[in-house]
Every structure is written in structure tokens, then in C-alpha cells.
Structure 1
Amino acid sequence: MLRTALRNVLAHKARLLMTVLAVMLGVAFVSGTLVFTSTISDALRSSAREGYADVDVAIQPNSDGSGLGDRPALDQRLLDKAAHVPGAASATGTVTGFTAIADRHGKLIGTGFSTRGGNYYPGADGKDARYPMRDGAAPHGADQIALDSRTADEAGFKVGDTVRLSFDGPVHETRLTGIFTTTDGAVSAGGSLALFDNATAQKLLLAPGKYNEIHVKAAPGTSQDALETEIHKVLPAKGAEATTGRQLADDEAEQIAKSMESMQTALLGFAGIALFVGIFLIANTFTMLVAQRTKELALLRAVGASRRQVTRSVLIEAVVVGAVAAVTGLAAGIGIGAAMRALMNGTGATVPDGPLVVDVSTVVTSLVVGIGVTVLAAWLPGRRAAKIPPVAAMNSVHATATTKSLVVRNTIGALFAGAGIAAVLAATGMSDGKFVMGLGAVLLLVGVFVLTPLLSRPLIALAAPLLRTFGISGKLARENAVRNPRRTAATASALMVGLTLITGLTVIGTSVQKGIDKMAVDSLKADYVVSMAGLTPLSPEVAQKLGGLDEVTAISPLRSSEAEIGGNTTYLTGVNGKDFGKLTRLDFASGSLGDLAGGGLIADEDTAKEKGWKVGSRVPVTFEDGKKETLTVSGVYHGNEMIHQVIVDNGVLSTHQKHATDMQVMLKTKDGATDATKQTLIDALGKNPALTVEDKKDVSAGISQSIDLLLNMLYALLGMAVIVAVLGVVNTLAMSVFERSQEIGMLRAIGLDRTGVKRMVRLESLVISLFGGVLGIGLGVFFGWAAGELISASLATYELVLPWGRMGIFLALAALVGVVAALWPARRAAKLNMLTALKAE
């Protein structure tokens, strides 16, 4: 039986090639994802280890146990103590903070938190070992900086050039005195790093005399653990903690691994979809092979082969096919992993250098997935093959499905579909119905898949009027499409699954986009919102400068401050109480803005309900400096995703803040949002690349861009499932042509020309593809609506949007799948020799 199985694999190489391709695509995605994430994780971990190579013990701030008015800080006194503990060779204070750097064209280099500044801390030799200078010298004075070599080279900066910087809003011009090299992982990953002398860095990025961390290097012969023990003896009672460099590297590696998990899970999820769709193709392939070998298998049974041996022979074929597909998929996946890394580098999101990592687990997973999926898909055809009775050797086709089996199948499908619909509908009324909805979606998909043979006849019949326009070819195509409902259903289901996901995600994405857009428009009356890149704090100087412009009629900086209310930590949002009502549109459940400018407080409805507040309630508040005040609730409003905080006047907050900073600035202008006004604001801020000036259209465009980017990524990933579906349609049509060789020969003999034969096969393919497309789009809309009901509970402005244009494209894509998939089978059918086909058995 083993020799028979291997012989059959070699005898059907062309047919099995499509199965190999389907499995290979899925395995390639799985292995490519694992290789890519392993490579990135290994590179980042290596970079982390290099970053802590000269750090044996790090002293870091620790807020545990400190109250609101007692903020931890690391100062020069602690640094000097750490440098003189037994076993310490040296101690270095580090300062870091957001530092935006403009290139020669005034554009921001790097993005968000990867755009950083730091301190150059010279040792006894006058050099900082962390940052060897490649060109020039270290910075000295407030007007000098040094840049990392990667940033300097990309921006075209040279020693002596003027570089424009911004830390919290205002623009500073400095002279570039040095260009250094670094193993800093953030820089290797595409960030930028500017260095200042120690005193300047403390003043600009933290506070005079303060450090973010203190790094201590051990003397020869002193272990990290021993040094850590000594460091603990000089630490203050609270506000600081010591950790070994080894532990810090391990912790960072763990964080990197966790950060990669979500990406890996998402990518593997789409690989799973491709493999799931591939199961239909594999099952169809082996069903066809069994159909081709009906006589052979029956004769094997007649000469003594047991059912188990027949099943085993089919599964052996599946193992061989799966192994070939898994090995080729693994090789392709390694290439995909390398390409994905190169793609990241090409988009500017570079990663540290490092070798391509192919773990043993990746190899094992690829082989198990490839072989496992193929064997699983081939098991049912193998089981059917074992049931072929020996008497079938006298017939060309063995017994068709009985009425009883069809009734059982349709009953099971109806039960699954009914349970799925009930679960999905029930979940829409739950506060947290994600799990129930997910379960219902799976049950409904399974139910529709089982019912697809039953659904194929009435749905395909709807296309009859259109097919009649193609004459006899159209009529034959419709009859052929419903001749074997199970096979047609399996083929259409592959496309159905892909389009269900694509349509559902599109409905959800466009609806969420519409809801957030509506929320932004409804909540904001401000013409512009000014903020920093990376959402870092703004200097109050920005609001002061904008407030002095003649064009500005109302302005409110938004500030955030930690406070304690009722024994719980709460974040207060500070606003300009006088102008806040002119810049926002709040829907009050009770009360109003009232005396917000005079020391009042307003809260969103959820917070008020949780705290038991009503209009007029007196609220004792402990501010971040430890002082207490009692505020009066003047209003309770309906919160949303943009505004849902406890709001007080900035005049109240400022008296309790040592260093006031703004999150953003909202403002209204005389002429509204115009290009001229926007340019005036940009000019007034010194054409600062780190600042964004956005009107409502910009906010909406940003939301649209992020959601469109996500959807485009999903489309690209789900495209693999569509490719597998194309192979499935090709397989089904090839099977159909094989089974109808005599019939096609007869049609040719009685006058149907080759063009008519091609048209017949193409129309059959088109009908099957559109059948799957209609089912997929219908299910996708249903799931999109149901998921939207859950989302609307947390997003009040959510509005169901049916993207008719995109759904039309999806249906056209389904039709294109049918046309493309029919090219080879149609050509093969048209080339059949009439006499040979008529003699075929």
C-alpha cells in the first residue's frame, strides 16, 4: 500500500501541485511570521544587551510608597555616593527627554518618542564611553549639541552646521560640534539622539542637578550582585531602587517579547485563515483523486485490502504532499521574513542589525502545520475511499450521497446556523458580549458551510436569466455548477470565508471612522488644536504666544494633573474656564459649566455616578503638591472618547504645580479654519516641525488615514486567502472537466465549437465564484452590523455605514477570481480530442 500511495503521488503531480501551492502559501506565512518576529526580537534583545554592557547596576526612580507631594528624584549627591561605594569603579548620571530635530528642510527627523535628547557625561578622561565621537568634539554650553551618526548622515549635517531643536514647543537654534556613534537600540531602530553637556541637558530635559538614572560600573573582581548589595546601603529610604544591568537587559528582553506577541498573533491569525481556506482545496483535491481511482480502490478491496489500508494509503499521500509543501513553505517563509525586515527598513522603521533567526521551533511548527493541515483535510476523502464497495469496480462512479445523508447534513447545518444567529443576536444586547459573539460567528460560519450545498441550487438559479443570454453554453454552465453541490459548495466556501472577513472588517472600520469623525465634529467648536509630536507635553509659552495673536478669539490649554479624591488617584484636566465653553460642545446631563472659572468642577456622567456626585456636591481634593482644597460640582456631562475627564480651571491647578505643562492647546479664530489663518499660526510658532496645527478636517483625515492603513494591511494579508481560493476554483473546474470528458467530447461532436466549450467552463467558474462572493459579503455585513452594536455601547456616535463602493469591488473581485481561475481548465476542455474523450471511461 505504501508503494501504491507513492506511485499515485507521482502519477498525479500536476493535480497535487495546486494542493502543494495552497499549503505552501499558508506555511510560508506561518514560518515567515515566526522568522520575522524572531529576527526582530533577537536584534532588539542584542541591542538591549549592548546598551547595558557597561552598566553593572542602575539606580532608577521608584514612586512606590511616595505620596502626591513627594516625587522621587536622583541627584548629584546620590550619584557621588554611588561612585564611592566599595566595588564601584565609576558612576554615570543619565538624562533623557523628548528632543525634536529638524532636518535641512524643516521637517521632523524621527517620530514620537524615538526622537530623544540626552546628556554627555565625561569620565575621568574627559570622554563619555557611551558615545565615542566620530567627528568633532563633545558639546559645551547651551548653544552646542552633538548628533548620532545615523541622524547626521541622513539629514546631511556636518560639524559646524546650525541645527533647529524643540523640546516642548519653542524653537532653539544650536551649533553642531560633534557626531558620535552609539549602540543605543532606539537609534538603531530609526530614532534620533541629540546630546548636550550635562548641565544643559538637566536644565532643558529634566531639572537642574537631577538625573533620570544613575549607572554604576563595577570594579574588576566585583560581581553585579555584590555591587547591587553595596548600592542598596546608600539609597534613600524611598524614591529610588537599584537593579543589576543583567536584570535590566532581561526585563527589556521580556518587554520586547511581549510587544512582539500581538504582532505575531495577528500575522499568525491571517496565516491560519489562509490554511483554513486551503483545507477546502486539499479536500477537493483528494476527493477528485478518489473519484478518479474509484475502480482502482474497489479492485484493491476486492483482492483483499482492508478499509484501514485504503484510508492509510490516502493519508500517506497526504503526508508526502504535506511534507513537500511544508519544506518549500519553510524555505519561502525564510525569504518572506527577510523581505519583511527589508521592507521595514525601507519605510524608515529600521531595526537593529543582526542575523536572520530561524529557530528550531519555527522549523518544527512549519512541518507540523503543513503535514497536519494536509492530513486533516485528506482524512474525510480517505474515509470515503475506504467505503467504496468492491462491486463498484464494475461501475465508473460509485454510489452518490443518499437522501438520508443529505437530510442529516442539512439538519446539522440548520442547527449550527440557528444557534450561531441566536448567539450573535444575544451578544448585541450584552454589555460585554465579545466571547458570545465570537462563538456565534464560528457556529454560523460552520452552519452556512454545511448548508452551502442546499443553498447553491436556489442562489445559482437566480443567475439563470443572465446565463440564458449566452445560449447553450450558459445553460450548460448553470447545470454543471449545481451538478455536484457538495464540491461546488466546498469551492465557494473558500472564497466565502475570505470575503466574510474582508467585508466585516471594512464595515466595522468605515463605521468606526464615521463615528469618531462625527464625535470630533460634534465635540469640538475649536477651529484648531495644537499639540507636540509624540503627544509629549507643551510649554505654556506656546499658549501664551498664540493667545497674543489678533486672530485668536478664544484659547484654552489642556493640562493634566494627578490628584487624590476619596482615597483614589484621579487625573484632573485643567482648562481655561472662561473660554472652554466656546471651544467645546458638551452635552450636560445636569448643571452646566457654571462657575468653572471661579473654582468649580465638572465631571463626566460615569465618573459622577461612580463617585456619587451630583450638582452642588462638595468634593475634597488632594493635589499633586499634597495640599487640599474643596471644589463644588457645577455640572455633569455625557462623556465620549475625546472628552471624559474631571475638569477644573487651570487657575486652580497652576497653584499646585511646580512645572506646569500643557497636553494641547485649543483655539478659535476670527476667520475660522482657513489656509491663511493656519499659516499665520505656524509662522507665529517659528515653523516648528515638532508642533502640529490641526483643524477638524485634519483630525478627521488623521483618523481616516490610520483606519485606511489598517484596512489596507488587512486586505493585503487576507489576499493570501483569496489566492488559495483561486487555486480551489481551478481545482474544481479541472475536476469538472475530467469527470465530463465524454460529455464534452459529445458536445463537440454535435456541433459545440471550442469557443462555446471555453465559454461554458468560464461561466461555470464565474457562477461558483459569485455564489461564494454573495454569501461572503452577506455574512460580512451581518457580522459587521453585530460587532457595531457592541461598539456603539462605548462609542455613542457610532453609525453603521455600508461601504457600497468597496462591496461592489469585492463582488467584482469574486468575479475576477472566477474568470482567472477558469483560464487553464477552459483551455484544457477546449483542446480535448473528441474521439479520445468519447472513448474515455
Structure 2
Amino acid sequence: MLRLTLAQMRRSLGRLIAAGVAILLGSAFVTATLTAGDVIERGGYDAMTALYGDADLIVFPSPDATPSDTLAAARGTAGVTTADALVISWVSFESGRRSSNEGVIPVPSDPSLASLDVVQGRAPASHGEVALPAASAERLGVGVGDTIRVSWTVWPTYSAEDVAEATGDVDTSPEPEPEPTEKTADVTLVGIVEDPSGAWASYGGAGLATLDAVVEWSGVSTLDEMAVGEVLVAVDGDVDPVRAELAERLDRDEVLTRDEAAARSVESYGAGNFLVMMVLGFAAVALLVAALVIANTFQVIVAQRTRMLALLRCVGARRGQLRASVLLEACILGVVAGVAGVLTGLGLAQGMLSVLSRVQTGVPLPPAVQPTLRNILVPVLVAVVVTVGAALLPARAATRVSPVAALRPADAPTVRARPGRVRLVLSMLLTVGGFAALAGGVALARAGTGIDSMLPLGIGVLGGGTSFVGLLVGSPLWVPRIVSSVGRPIASISTSARLAAANTLRNPRRTSATSTALVIGVTLVVMMSTGAISAQESLAREMDERGPVDLLVVDSSGEAMSKAVADDVTSLDGVETVVVARAGLVLNAEGRERQAYVVDPADAHVIRDEVAADALAAGRSVVPEGWSGPVSTLEVTAQDTAPIEVLPRGTKTALLTTDAADALGIDRAPTTLLVRLSGGTDAIETLRAVQDLVADDTMHFESTAAQRQGNEEIIDIVLAIVIGLLGVAVVIALIGVANTLSLSVIERRRESATLRAVGLSRRGLRWMLATEGMLIAGVGALIGTVLGLLYGWAGAATVFGPLGDVHLSVPWAHLGAVLAVALLAGLVASALPARAAARTPPVAALGVD
């Protein structure tokens, strides 16, 4: 049977290529994902080990031992060359009118424990020296050898008598509590440091100072009073005996190697694993679509081999042998395509790694992928399992071929099994129940208060997944009907179009399977696109309400804003409106304080929030919702107290009309610029331009537009990545369309010859197949678009429902692109099959196989 199976595969090589490409893409996806997961995990390890330098052992803190005791025990252990405590202090450096808050860590006692590199000058050696990152030195406008001022806070310490007094053990007269004091000192910048592996990136960088200076700048007297992290230990020689002795001396098991400590830290975050699991989910989608394509391919291959299988039964082949032959063919295809997919996936991973290593220079990345046995075997095993699983039903159909079928000189039969009632009932239960759960998740999310935020999301995901599975189960029931409905108006165009519309309905199950593969990919693409854009607009409205002014420029000195500054800001590109406004602090009756900006009703157009702008134009002030509830008049206090007409909104600040500000006695000196940006403006670049233009330390800048743009960029990046991943599933589905058309040409070979014989031209035959391909692809894309819009809106409503109303935002550009690509792909997929059908002479095609 092996020789026969290989011969059959050679004869059906053209038919198996499309299925092989589908499973190749799926296994390549899995390979690239697993390899990327290893890179993410290794990158997390490297980031954590960078914090530890080249320490051989890491001792985690314990409440039973002080840092001094741990250091003494480590340094007294045989084989230990040095030990340092991992500690950081926060101080403020000043140079002239410029200042910078900086984390400072001690200079390591051994270079092997260093996490920072001194790239200019030298490391601090005395109490009055410091080394800073290049960005901090540039911000302060200083260089190596310059003097800067450091300021820190000294916190009061409490004696035993203080503790006894606090607990009521002694009765003393009350005295004023000691307050923290601010101290300053001049230090010399002796070096510039660099963080090559991003060890302190989450802290915004770090500088170097001596241990005594770091302790003093922490505002305490000794190291034991600081928040000390791990103790880093350098070992001379074999690590294991030193580790065992140190663990025994400290009487604890928290003595780990560098990799063990890094693994512990990475697992505590779990971000890398989550990312890998998310991408593997997309790989599963791609494999599901590939399984549909493969099942369709083998189903028709078995149908095409009906006569040969029947002849094999006539000469003595058993049913089990025929079933084993089909499954062996699937297994060989899975192995070959899986191995090719592994090679492709490794190549893709290496290409992405090369690109990222050039772009993300601050992120530690390995120079090359390091394939493991797991990353090679798992994708091949998955490819084989999916391929063999997809071939199970066709193999079962092969065993039903009777020997009598060999005596019928007719075209290979098509698969016309009608969906049964069990499928109908199961599909209805899953679909109706799933949509009910999805609606329930949306309703719970919109209810908001008093509900666990994960509950609506969990119900929504479960309901959406269940309803989608129900739709897929019932697809043979409704997809052919939709194809028929769309095909009717197309059939009136020409004879070729009428034949194409009829051909799509000749085998409803195969048409349904092909369209369903495309439906899955398109639904997920449109769902993510719709959900992301709806979420983007909902977040934008929320940010407009919370921060109704695009850009605020506030003079913190209290001096009036000069007209020249306002004119300069107005002249910048991207600035639409600039209003000079008063500002002040206001309180409600409960004493809640808020910053307030005064907006003349004539200048209300500077406000981005349309509801707030309309209220100000009508003479009503805008205050935070927590201030007033549903009331329209509120007692507000500034210099004076007065009742004012208000509109409660979700804003962080108050917006007062000029009449309300006058009644409250707010200073008439305009200290603030309210700036509205033009549509499509780069808010971040505009903010930088304003900061460069108004180079004054007394100016404070706040840009809601820049925050909104940052959120939108993050969503756009994530959306692009997700659509790119899901695009693999769409490509596989389109391969399925091409596969279906190719098999359809072979299956209808004699029919096509008959059409040619009665007068249908080659061009007409090609257009018939092109119309058929575009009809199948177009209907699949159309169904996927509708479902994607529905699921995308429901997902956005579930996630962002507590924030307010979420309106359906239609990504017209994405929808147009999806439909255009589907139709074009259907046309392209028909090119080779149509060419093969048109080139076959009618006389040769009419011969009996």
C-alpha cells in the first residue's frame, strides 16, 4: 500500500500542493511563534540578569535578617570575593534653573557586579562625586567636571520613648511631631554612565554615587533603614558549595543563581507567556482554516478516485487498507509540509530578529535564533495531527466505495450529502445561546457599577465564541442560500455568469467549506479592526471629556501671560486656536479643591468636548461630576463664595464662565494659554515645539492631545500586528478558493468540454471560472465583514461599556480593502485553473478516464 499511496500522491501532486502550502503556513506560524517566545523569555532573563550584573549568586531579602547581617554572612563565606546590596535612592539635582529627579545606586565594590557602564570620565570615588546618564546631564546642561547641587529629604527618626508614647505606654505632654527637613549639597559630576541592557529603564535610568552618599541621600542613617533589595554575591571558583554554605549560614533557601533569580522575576510578571499564548491563538486560527482547506481537498480527491478505489476493492483490497492509504497520504503530506513550515518559520523569525536588533538598539536581543528540539518537533507534530485529522472523514468516505462503482463510466460523483436535523438543532442551540450570552455580557458591562470588570468580558468572550461555532456548524445550511441570493443578479449579466452562479450551488458542502474558511479569517480581521477603532473613538471621547483642552500652557509663577508668547504659539503649525485665560483654585461646599480655568463664552470653541463647549457658550460653567451630582446650581468658593449655574461632566478641572469667575473673585491676571490643535496634527511634535518656543522653567505644560495620540498609536500598532497575524489565515483561506476551483476544473472536465463543443469560447470559459472564484471569495468576505462588525462592536461595548456609550465605528477603509482583496484574490485564484480548462481540447476532455 505504501508504493500505491506514493503513486497516487505523484498523480495528485498538483491537487496536494495547495493543501501543502496551507499547512506549511500554519506550521511556519507555530514555529515563528515558539521561537519568538524563546526570544521573549531570553530577553526577559537578560533584562533581569542585567540588573544583577555578573553576580554568581543572588540572596533575596528576609524579614528575619537585616541587610548588614546578610552582607556580613555573605562576605564571611569561604569562596565569596565580594557582596553588595542592591539599593537605589531618589534625589533631585539642580543646575541653575534646571532640575532633574534621578535614581542613584552605589558604585559596586567589584566590577563584576556593575549594571551601569561608565562611558565618559570615571566612577565616583568620594562622597562629593556623582556620575549621571547622558540624558540627565544634557537636561541639566552640565558636563564632566561641572558642579551641581543635590537636594534630598531627611526623615525624622523615632526613639523607644517615641514608640512608647505612640502606643500609650507612657503619659507625656503632647509635643509637635517632627517634620522632614530638606538638605542640599554641592557635588561634582565626574562621569557619564550608560545602561547598555536597560537594567534601570523602568526607573527612568540611574546614576552612580558612593554607598555612603546613597545612604545619606535616602534621608536615613544606616543601610538597614533603607528599602534594600537583593544582595549580589561574586564567587571565586565553584558556585554550588558556596551556595550551600551560604544558605546554611543564613538558614534559608532564598540563595539563587543569576538565571534562577531571573526566572523567578520573569514568571512573576508572566507578560512574555501571555504574549506567546496570544500569538499561538492566532496560529490556532490559521491551523483551523488550514484544516478546512485540507479536509475539502481530500474530500474531493477521494471523490475523484472513486473508480480507482472501487477497482482496488474488486481486486481484493480491504476497507481498512483503503482507509490506511488515505491517512498515510495525509501523514506524508503533513510531515513534508510541516518540515518545510519549520524551515520557513525559522527563516521568518531570524528576519524579524535582524530587523528588531537594528531598530530596538536599547533592547538586548540574541544575534540569531536558537532552534530547540521542541520548536522543531511541535510544529511538525501539529501539522501531522491537523492534516490527518482533516483527512479522517474523507478516509471514511473512501471505505464506502463499492466495487460496483467501478463499472459505471461516469464522471466522479460530487459530495451532495444534505445537512441533517441534528446539525440544524445543534447549530441553533449554539448560535442562539451564544448570542444571548454575548448580549448579556454587553448589558452587564453597560450596567457598570458593582460588577467585577472581568465577569462581563468572560461572558462576552464565551458567548461570542459559542455563537461563532454555532454559525460554523450550520454553515452548510445558510451559506449556499446566501451564495444563491448573491448569484441571482449576477446570473443576468452573461451566460458565463449564469453558469458560474449555478456551479457554486452544485456542491453546496464544498462551497460552504471554502467560504467558511474565508469567513473565519475575514471575521477576525474585521472584528479586531472594528473593535479597535470603536475603542479608539470611545477613548478619544472619554479623554476629551476628562481633559477638554488639547494643550495647556500655565505660568506657575503667577505672572500674567504675555501677548507675545500667545502670538508665538498661535503662529506654530498645527495650532488652530489660542486663548489667554485666567486660572485659580475653587472649592465646592464639601471642601473639594480643583483647578479652574476661565473661558469666555465667545471663546468656547477652544474646548474639545462639544458638550462642555455648548454649556460654556450658553453661560453655564462645567465642574467635575463628583462635585454636584444632578444639580444645576452649585455653591463654589474661590476668593469669594457664590452660587453658579453648572453642568457636571467627567472633567478633572473646572471650566468657569467669565461671569462665574467674577462672582467668585478669581484674579483677573491671565496666566494660562488654552490651545486647540488642528485636526490631523502631530500633538507630540506640537507639544515639543511649544516647549522649545517657551523655554522658561516657570512654564508648565499639559497636553491631553498628546496623551490621546499616544493611546491611538499604541492601538494602531497592536491592530497592525493582529491584522498581520490574522492575515495568514486569510491567505490560507484564499489558497482554499484556488484549490476548490482547481479541483472543480478537474471534476467538471467533461462538462467544460461539452460547453466548448456547443459553442462556449475559451474566453467565456475563463470568465465563468473567474466569476465563480470571485463569487465564492466575495460572499465569504461579505459574511465575514457583517459578523466582524457585530462581534467588534460587541467586544468594544463589553470592554469600554463602563466608560459610557460605545457607538459602532465602521472602518470603511479596512472593509473596502478586505472586499477588494477578496475579489481580486478570487480572480487571481481562477487564472491557472481557467487556463488549464481552456487549453484542454474538447475531444480529449470528452474521453472517459
- The bucket for the TM-score relative to the shorter chain is 0.7 to 0.9
**Contact 1:56–1:224 (8 Å) recurs in 2:** yes
What's the CA shift for 1:271?
0.7
Question: Which of residues 658, 665, 669 in structure 1 aligns to 2:672?
Answer: 669
Note if 1:360 corresponds to 2:373: yes
Note if 1:224 corresponds to 2:243: yes
Rounded to whole Å, the distance in 2 between the matches of 1:343 and 1:488 is 41
Rounded to whole Å, the distance in 1 between the matches of 2:202 and 2:7 is 52
Cα offsets for 1:718-739 (capped at 9, x unmatched) = 1100110111001000011111
Matches within 5 A, 1:544-563: 544=556, 553-554=582-583
Q: What secondary structure is seen at the aligned counterpart in 1 of 2:278?
A: helix
What's the CA shift for 1:2?
2.6
Other-structure match for 1:657: none
Q: State the AA in 1 paired with 2:768.
A: M
Cα offsets for 1:460-518 (capped at 9, x unmatched) = 23334652464111111111111111111111011100111111222221221121111
TM-score of the superposed pair, with normalisation by structure 2 = 0.72
671 and 367 in structure 1: CA distance in 2 versus 1, 3 angstrom threshold: closer
Q: What secondary structure is seen at the aligned counterpart in 2 of 1:145?
A: strand
Note if 1:484 corresponds to 2:507: yes
What's the CA shift for 1:352?
3.8
What's the CA shift for 1:776?
0.8
Other-structure match for 1:441: 464
Rounded to whole Å, the distance in 2 between the matches of 1:472 and 1:126 is 83
Matches within 5 A, 1:80-159: 89-96=81-88, 118-121=104-107, 123=109, 136-139=121-124, 145=131
Other-structure match for 1:761: 769
Matches within 5 A, 1:158-237: 178=191, 184=197, 186=199, 194-196=207-209, 212-213=228-229, 215=231, 217=233, 223-227=242-246, 230=249
352 and 828 in structure 1: CA distance in 2 versus 1, 3 angstrom threshold: same
Other-structure match for 1:17: 17
Q: What secondary structure is seen at the aligned counterpart in 1 of 2:371?
A: coil
167 and 508 in structure 1: CA distance in 2 versus 1, 3 angstrom threshold: farther
85 and 727 in structure 1: CA distance in 2 versus 1, 3 angstrom threshold: same
Other-structure match for 2:316: 304
Rounded to whole Å, the distance in 1 between the matches of 2:429 and 2:290 is 25
What's the CA shift for 1:370?
0.6
Q: What secondary structure is seen at the aligned counterpart in 2 of 1:839?
A: coil
> Which structure has the bigger radius of gyration?
2
Q: State the AA in 1 paired with 2:242.
A: S
96 and 419 in structure 1: CA distance in 2 versus 1, 3 angstrom threshold: same
Note if 1:518 corresponds to 2:541: yes
Moved more, 733-742 or 340-349: 340-349
**Contact 2:415–2:509 (8 Å) recurs in 1:** no
**Contact 1:218–1:224 (8 Å) recurs in 2:** no
Matches within 5 A, 1:300-379: 300-348=312-360, 350-353=363-366, 356-379=369-392
Moved more, 345-354 or 574-583: 574-583
**Contact 1:82–1:231 (8 Å) recurs in 2:** yes
Matches within 5 A, 1:645-684: 669-673=672-676
**Contact 1:460–1:771 (8 Å) recurs in 2:** yes
Note if 1:784 corresponds to 2:814: no
Q: What secondary structure is seen at the aligned counterpart in 2 of 1:752?
A: coil
Rounded to whole Å, the distance in 1 between the matches of 2:738 and 2:822 is 14
Moved more, 286-295 or 824-833: 824-833
What's the CA shift for 1:278?
0.5
Matches within 5 A, 1:231-310: 244=256, 249-252=261-264, 254-255=266-267, 258-310=270-322
Rounded to whole Å, the distance in 2 between the matches of 1:811 and 1:779 is 14
128 and 732 in structure 1: CA distance in 2 versus 1, 3 angstrom threshold: closer
Note if 1:710 corresponds to 2:718: yes
Rounded to whole Å, the distance in 1 between the matches of 2:511 and 2:147 is 66
Note if 1:731 corresponds to 2:747: no
Note if 1:808 corresponds to 2:822: no
Over the aligned positions, Cα root-mean-square deviation in angstroms equals 4.9
Note if 1:742 corresponds to 2:750: yes
**Contact 1:298–1:393 (8 Å) recurs in 2:** yes
556 and 823 in structure 1: CA distance in 2 versus 1, 3 angstrom threshold: farther
**Contact 2:549–2:674 (8 Å) recurs in 1:** no
Q: State the AA in 2 paired with 1:92.
A: D
422 and 302 in structure 1: CA distance in 2 versus 1, 3 angstrom threshold: farther
Q: State the AA in 2 paired with 1:807.
A: L
366 and 79 in structure 1: CA distance in 2 versus 1, 3 angstrom threshold: closer
Other-structure match for 2:45: 45
**Contact 1:476–1:760 (8 Å) recurs in 2:** yes
* Identity percentage of aligned residues: 27
Other-structure match for 2:607: none
Rounded to whole Å, the distance in 2 between the matches of 1:49 and 1:90 is 18
Note if 1:390 corresponds to 2:403: yes
Cα offsets for 1:212-245 (capped at 9, x unmatched) = 5463536769723543565689xxxxxxx97555
Rounded to whole Å, the distance in 2 between the matches of 1:25 and 1:344 is 22
Q: State the AA in 1 paired with 2:393.
A: L
Q: State the AA in 2 paired with 1:554.
A: A
Q: State the AA in 2 paired with 1:714.
A: V
What's the CA shift for 1:165?
13
Q: State the AA in 1 paired with 2:625.
A: L
Rounded to whole Å, the distance in 1 between the matches of 2:277 and 2:56 is 34
Other-structure match for 1:534: none
What's the CA shift for 1:698?
2.6
Cα offsets for 1:584-621 (capped at 9, x unmatched) = 632544789978999xxxxxxxxxxxxxxxxxxxxxxx
**Contact 2:88–2:106 (8 Å) recurs in 1:** no
310 and 219 in structure 1: CA distance in 2 versus 1, 3 angstrom threshold: closer
750 and 95 in structure 1: CA distance in 2 versus 1, 3 angstrom threshold: same
Other-structure match for 2:803: 795
**Contact 1:118–1:196 (8 Å) recurs in 2:** yes
Moved more, 802-811 or 510-519: 802-811
* Runs of 5+ consecutive residues of structure 2 not aligned to the other structure: 153-184, 445-450, 563-579, 599-620, 640-646, 654-669, 679-685
Rounded to whole Å, the distance in 1 between the matches of 2:758 and 2:382 is 49
191 and 677 in structure 1: CA distance in 2 versus 1, 3 angstrom threshold: closer
Moved more, 83-92 or 184-193: 184-193
Rounded to whole Å, the distance in 1 between the matches of 2:692 and 2:147 is 19
What's the CA shift for 1:347?
2.8
Q: State the AA in 1 paired with 2:13.
A: K
Rounded to whole Å, the distance in 2 between the matches of 1:322 and 1:126 is 53
668 and 93 in structure 1: CA distance in 2 versus 1, 3 angstrom threshold: farther
Moved more, 588-597 or 510-519: 588-597
Rounded to whole Å, the distance in 2 between the matches of 1:273 and 1:803 is 22
**Contact 2:150–2:187 (8 Å) recurs in 1:** no
How many residues are matched? 715
**Contact 1:163–1:176 (8 Å) recurs in 2:** yes
Q: What secondary structure is seen at the aligned counterpart in 2 of 1:494?
A: helix
Matches within 5 A, 1:392-411: 392-395=405-408, 396-397=410-411, 406=420, 409-411=423-425
Q: State the AA in 1 paired with 2:505.
A: V
**Contact 2:89–2:105 (8 Å) recurs in 1:** no
**Contact 2:15–2:297 (8 Å) recurs in 1:** yes
